[in-house]
Structure 1
């Protein structure tokens, strides 16, 4: 079995519907996966860099789970990336992450149709992923296909909307687990 590490970058999981549901579903389906909820581990925003780097070193597959924030990582996860993915560890001649797989798993508030050339934002969602592709290349990570779900908005959350978001989140988690399952049954070096 390969080691799976999931980094949750949601800044406040206690206020989350989709990301919290995704993490709960994945934890149930893949109990051996390590899930690091940054907001719970570091409510003061002061990371234990050694612990974070050690988790990354043990992992074969790394998942970044987050809500798309201003077309990128939320502040907490960006800070984590800045402080943990330093030269000499994540990139450079003594980099240690080479060959690990990276999966971006995220939710957006805006609906899918906004993320098209003719949509409200004027860009496909894949265009917003260029910095992630560049980060993966710099760190010699193999970036796999992203798993994302659009239309998970915080606006107007009535009971029906919450139920719909939980359904979308469960479907998202199912897709993510489907991507991760082959690694669960795979031995290292295979």
Structure 2
């Protein structure tokens, strides 16, 4: 059974409609470790060695955050800058994360149609997530299609509950290796594989 580490970064979780529910759905799953970065490091003083050890102890890394200004909240970026260092995570001798898997889990205010060449944001979610994909590639990790919740400001409570259940299903599938990797890698979103 795969061990999953959820690197969760939300600077205002008490105001969240979506991410609070997503986390509640998965935090008690067996072999899933929730690492709430804003709760753990409110002062941004990250314990690099402790964070690296957590990464070593898990097979699948989830970068879970709201999509802020087409990127991640500041603490997750700080975490990446400090923890995924040359000589450890990447570089000629940096192979500590090689072979691990990464999944981005994000929520967006915009609906799906605004994330396209024709839409208001002019680029797809996949295009906006290229820095995360390349970070995973640099560290010799496999980057999966993202799990995305669109329209955070307008979706209903019932839709949020469905997304939360699907997130739980996604992590359960990954944990037990019950994912058709060929089919997944052809999908735009991980969500597309969940029935």
| TM-score, length of structure 2 as denominator length | 0.84
1:98–1:139: 8 Å Cα contact kept in structure 2? yes
Q: How does 1:12-91 map to 2 (within 5 A)?
A: 12-28=12-28, 30-91=29-90
Which structure ranks higher in relative contact order (CA pairs < 8 Å, sequence separation ≥ 6)? 1
1:14 is displaced (CA, Å) by 2.2
Query: Is 1:178 aligned with 2:169?
Result: yes
Structure 2 unaligned residues grouped into runs of 5+: 178-195
Secondary structure at 1:23 match in 2: helix
Aligned residues: 176
Structure 1 unaligned residues grouped into runs of 5+: 154-160
1:54 is displaced (CA, Å) by 0.5
Deviation above 2 Å: which 4+ runs of structure 1? Answer: 166-180, 182-186
1:115–1:123: 8 Å Cα contact kept in structure 2? yes
Query: Is 1:92 aligned with 2:91?
Result: yes
Q: 2: distance between equivalents of 1:77 and 1:119?
A: 27
2:2–2:31: 8 Å Cα contact kept in structure 1? no
| Aligned position for 1:158 | none
Q: What is the root-mean-square deviation in Å for CA atoms of aligned residues?
A: 1.7
2:10–2:65: 8 Å Cα contact kept in structure 1? yes
| Aligned position for 2:123 | 123
